[in-house]
Homo-oligomer: A and B are copies of this chain.
């Protein structure tokens, strides 16, 4: 069976397992007060070109979104995002659970938000006669890559950031799969760029080779007051924090993090090209990252499912579904070659 359903159904990257094994017998401080966490933070700060970045390690993406937004938002403020944004769809209402409203922008097939539409929404909020009866938008949430694997150019982020600043909003970047953007063909966004152009972002580990872990970055000492207490109160403070630190220390040694992204992205490009080459399916949107969304007929889906595991993402039309194919650090050239044999014969 070939597995292209998920980038977290595999284990951890061997380099991480190696260090886990090497350091397991050591004594270390708890809750992230340990030398591995310190070193990881230092490496991330260097990668971000921001010696003053505040960095916190968490376990997963939903909790990173929920706790950071909760701590950054005042009770009367809300967060703006695409209707397809992860926080709006796949987090079981975790943001609303903390009492905050999500305000949605118009929908686009590439999953990105548009600066002009953002400007209209924020301006209308500012000019509303009854604005003291309304939730005040205060953070704009984007994902890089988006839910559909697409990426923003640095120019696009800059413009969004300008709109945010113009309306006293902060920019939050969900980077649960950030490595796959950093490694993408045509990408010109860097960690340094993010540290300059957003107010909070996180570097996803869980979906990029770690056993778990997300590194939340507040550039330039901008962590919300008492952020540690928010983490504890949300129930997401990890006791043996050394292991999250150790993983990010490894991911940020010798460029491992980006190289995982490049590896998976390259194989994903091959993958989608094979679908096109053999006339099996067309991508619903051009994605340069490790997630490919391909339109497949019901017949093709059925046949392909005999040998390949992938995810049905949604309905395209009466006869077709949008299917998701995902690569990861553990995907190999051989997997792609085997897929080619299967597609060729369909």
| Chain A residues packing against B (C-beta within 8 Å) | 3, 6, 8-12, 14, 17, 20-21, 23-30, 59-63, 65-67, 70-71, 74-76, 78, 89-94, 96-102, 104, 129-130, 132-136, 206-207, 211-212, 225-226, 228-230, 232-240, 243, 311-313, 330
B93 touches A135 (CB 8 A): yes
How far is the CB of A286 from the nearest CB of chain B, in Å? 24
How far is the CB of A11 from the nearest CB of chain B, in Å? 4
B76 touches A229 (CB 8 A): yes
B133 touches A92 (CB 8 A): yes
Of all chain B residues, the one with the shortest Cβ separation from A71 is: B75
A27-B3, A28-B9, A311-B129 known; A99-B101 Cβ under 8 A:
no
A325 to B91, CA, bound (A): 41
B233 touches A92 (CB 8 A): yes
Q: In the complex, what residues of B have CB within 8 A of residue A312's CB? A: 129
B24 touches A233 (CB 8 A): no
Determine which residue in A21, A67, A101, A311 has the highest number of CB atoms from chain B within 10 A of its CB, and name it. Answer: A101
* One of B25, B30, B93, B212 near A100 (C-beta < 8 A): B93
What are the 4 A-B residue pairs with the smallest beta carbon separation, nearest first?
A63-B235, A11-B24, A76-B229, A92-B232
B75 touches A235 (CB 8 A): no
Interface of A is mostly: loop
Q: In the complex, what residues of B have CB within 8 A of residue A78's CB? A: 93, 96
A226 to B73, CA, bound (A): 13
How far is the CB of A296 from the nearest CB of chain B, in Å? 15
Q: In the complex, what residues of B have CB within 8 A of residue A24's CB? A: 11-12, 14, 17
* One of B14, B67, B89, B134 near A235 (C-beta < 8 A): B67
A62 touches B96 (CB 8 A): no
A252 to B222, CA, bound (A): 44
Q: In the complex, what residues of B have CB within 8 A of residue A130's CB? A: 90
Q: In the complex, what residues of B have CB within 8 A of residue A236's CB? A: 59-60, 63, 235-236
A226 to B8, CA, bound (A): 24
A76 to B232, CA, bound (A): 9
B90 touches A96 (CB 8 A): no
